């Protein structure tokens, strides 16, 4: 990692009250960044480098209010998000909309307000928490996967469009990670669904993998590494095994990838 950060060392982190967001806020503060730690319920801190900011990414007025307290910014890191579980067919539409509202439109709400601040710099950076589910759709998490697939498309377009203003954009793709995300995931499959038993079993399998997965700190370290790169990659999977998985997903036939994913989660 380079010793010199090419961006202004002022960072806004959404979802900073827990999990990957909190670890990222702590790590960046430790490395001399001024951190605006945004969340719906910001926690008090004794760290002078971390400034708690109340923000609901689904509420444009809340985002604008938070922005009124920030007058310079070099980096945005999007960590706010949650997961729902349920079948592609039976998940209630309002739950699927809520998933997109936070995971996808939340990123748009924040960027629409804060990108003008980034464009004031000669060079700046947007990092978005995607997922392995952003390029391999996971059974019984199709709507979560859809929200991450959407972010993958959005970030690539943003990288092209805003590049002439010095704005870099990159996706960080964690796999199974041990955080409170697992416990917070909602179960939205109706009990009378023909998919119910298989859905519950598949999600329990996911939960077990997540709780035995990498630490949130491993993802925070990838964000920090990218913050010292002049030209970060379009996307980066977290950990060697997921880098290999990402490569295989690109070169193997889609039918074979689907079969492997089905074998893992359903059998």
**Of 36, 104, 140, 144, which one is the catalytic site residue?**
144
Please say if 7 is a catalytic residue.
no
| Residue 146 known to be catalytic | no
What does 50-116 look like in DSSP terms, one character per residue? EEEEE--TT-HHHHHHHHTT----SEEEE-----EEB-TTTS-HHHHHHHHHHHTHHHHHHHHHHHH
Is 65 among the catalytic positions?
Answer: no
Q: Which of 85, 130, 146, 147 is catalytic?
A: 130
Distance, CA of 183 to CA of 156 (rounded, Å)? 31
**Residues sharing a CB contact under 8 Å with residue 263, sequence separation 6 or more, in sequence order:** none
- Among candidate residues 85, 148, 154, 214, the one labeled active-site is 148
Active-site hit among 7, 17, 85, 145 = 17
Establish whether 144 is a catalytic residue. Answer: yes
Inter-residue contact 84 to 143 (CB < 8 Å):
yes
Sequence-ordered list of residues with C-beta below 8 angstroms from that of 176, at least 6 positions apart, any chain = 206, 209, 210, 212, 213, 214
Active site residues: 17, 130, 144, 148
């Amino acid at each position: 990692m380079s010793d010199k950060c090419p961006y202004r060392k002022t960072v806004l982190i959404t979802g900073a009250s827990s999990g990957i967001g909190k670890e990222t806020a702590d790590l960046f503060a430790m490395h001399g960044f001024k951190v605006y730690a945004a969340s719906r319920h910001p926690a008090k801190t004794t760290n002078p480098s971390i400034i708690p900011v109340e923000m609901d990414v689904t509420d444009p007025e809340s985002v604008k209010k938070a922005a009124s307290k920030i007058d310079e910014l070099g980096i945005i890191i999007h960590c706010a998000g949650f997961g729902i579980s349920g079948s592609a067919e039976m998940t209630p539409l309002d739950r699927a909309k809520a998933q997109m509202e936070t995971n996808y439109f939340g990123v748009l709400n924040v960027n629409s307000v804060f990108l003008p601040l980034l464009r004031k710099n000669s060079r700046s950076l947007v990092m978005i928490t995607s997922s392995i589910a952003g390029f391999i759709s996971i059974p019984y998490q199709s709507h979560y996967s859809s929200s991450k697939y959407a972010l993958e498309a959005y970030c690539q377009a943003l990288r092209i469009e805003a590049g002439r203003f010095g704005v870099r954009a990159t996706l960080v793709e964690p796999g199974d990670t041990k955080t409170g995300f697992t416990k917070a995931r909602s179960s939205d499959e109706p009990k009378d669904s023909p998919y119910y038993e298989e859905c519950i079993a598949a999600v329990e399998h996911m939960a077990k993998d997540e709780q035995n997965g990498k630490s949130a700190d491993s993802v925070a370290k990838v964000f920090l590494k990218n913050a010292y790169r002049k030209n970060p990659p379009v996307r980066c999977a977290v950990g060697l095994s997921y880098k290999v998985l990402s490569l295989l997903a690109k070169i193997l036939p889609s039918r074979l990838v689907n079969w492997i994913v089905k074998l893992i989660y359903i059998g």
